[in-house]
């Protein structure tokens, strides 16, 4: 959710989506330094990890410790991904502010990613919603159901609109606070973004869809952001240096680069609350901890235009 000081929320997903896709395991100290530096740059929501079995994603085995650290940063929404109710229990125990359960609209991908059918994932969503409802109101994390592979699947191809709509409605009925659209495989284009936003809002309601997770696999990431902005979405996932992709969707590389997204939005007059120079400087922490891992982005190479005044500074 955006606040009165910002127009758009950039949710940093690099510590989860970025790190799960590479072989190198980032040391805990480096993760803490990364998260602290991004928060200091003005990023107010960070997906810091995932509560999955360490044997599946050893890169994220320290998520509980990362959450505990991130919770000490004032004003930071600490988000995590969970594959099931057991993961949600761990996330709740750790104190996460936001929990995302991915539901692949491609059942083939769901079986590869979560080893669960659509019906089983919906059952997990009901259980998680019940766990959250049983908590005191001030301890309840926000619960998002993410419609993964919504724009197409590398294993199954295009997914029928009727199936996407049915699953979106099922997640809301199961007790999710909202649903999110996820271009897990980088298949999206601006026309498809507009169409699916209309489709999902038609069954879930406008308030139930405010965010989208886009990849830049085929160079359309920022164009797709513009399409989503035109439809009224206000939350956009991005990854520092463009790290990331889904390890269970072959060829699904390339998250949107946080630095480039923040620059585009600020140049358009939309306040993100982020200091672009401080954000770009965070790359040094990530590069030092992941030697040899490529980092992407145009802003870090080109720098800010002469005389550039970001929207956030103008509003300060």
Which residues form the catalytic set? 246
| DSSP state letter for 157 | B
Which DSSP string do the residues of 181-196 spell out, in sequence order?
Answer: EE-TTS---HHHHHHH
- Whether residue 51 contacts residue 99, with contact meaning beta carbons closer than 8 Å, is answered with no
E strand or H helix at 198 = helix 190-204
Contacts 24+ apart (CB under 8 A), 129-132: 129/174, 129/175, 129/176, 130/175, 131/85, 131/88, 131/89, 131/92, 132/88, 132/92, 132/99, 132/175
Cα separation, 37 vs 14, in Å, equals 13
Q: How far apart are CA 50 and CA 83, in angstroms?
A: 8
Residues 6+ apart with CB under 8 A from 116: 84, 110, 124
């Amino acid at each position: 959710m955006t606040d009165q000081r910002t127009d758009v929320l950039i949710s940093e997903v690099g510590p989860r989506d970025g790190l799960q896709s590479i072989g190198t395991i980032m040391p805990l100290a480096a993760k803490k330094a990364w998260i602290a530096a991004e928060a200091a740059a003005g990023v107010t929501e960070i997906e810091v990890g995932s509560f999955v079995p360490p044997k599946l994603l050893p890169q994220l085995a320290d998520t509980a410790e990362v959450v505990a650290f991130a919770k000490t940063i004032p004003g930071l929404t600490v988000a995590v991904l969970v594959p099931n109710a057991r993961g949600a229990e761990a996330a709740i125990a750790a104190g996460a502010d936001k929990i995302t359960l991915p539901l692949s609209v491609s059942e083939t991908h769901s079986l590869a990613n979560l080893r669960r059918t659509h019906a089983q994932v919906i059952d997990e969503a009901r259980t998680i919603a019940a766990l959250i409802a049983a908590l005191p109101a001030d301890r309840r994390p926000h619960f998002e159901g993410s419609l993964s592979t919504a724009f197409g699947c590398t294993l199954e191809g295009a997914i029928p609109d009727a199936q996407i709509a049915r699953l979106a409605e099922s997640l809301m009925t199961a007790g999710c606070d909202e649903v999110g659209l996820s271009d897990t495989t980088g298949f999206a284009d601006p026309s498809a973004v507009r169409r699916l936003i209309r489709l999902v809002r038609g069954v879930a309601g406008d308030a139930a869809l405010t965010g989208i997770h886009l990849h830049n696999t085929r160079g359309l990431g920022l164009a797709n952001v513009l399409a989503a902005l035109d439809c009224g979405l206000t939350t956009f996932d991005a990854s520092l240096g463009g790290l990331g992709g889904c390890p269970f969707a072959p060829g699904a590389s390339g998250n949107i680069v946080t630095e480039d997204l923040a620059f585009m939005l600020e140049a358009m007059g939309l306040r993100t609350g982020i200091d672009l120079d401080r954000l770009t400087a965070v790359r040094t922490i990530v590069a030092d901890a992941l030697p040899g891992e490529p980092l992407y982005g145009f802003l870090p190479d080109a720098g800010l235009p002469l005389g550039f005044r970001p929207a956030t500074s103008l509003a300060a």
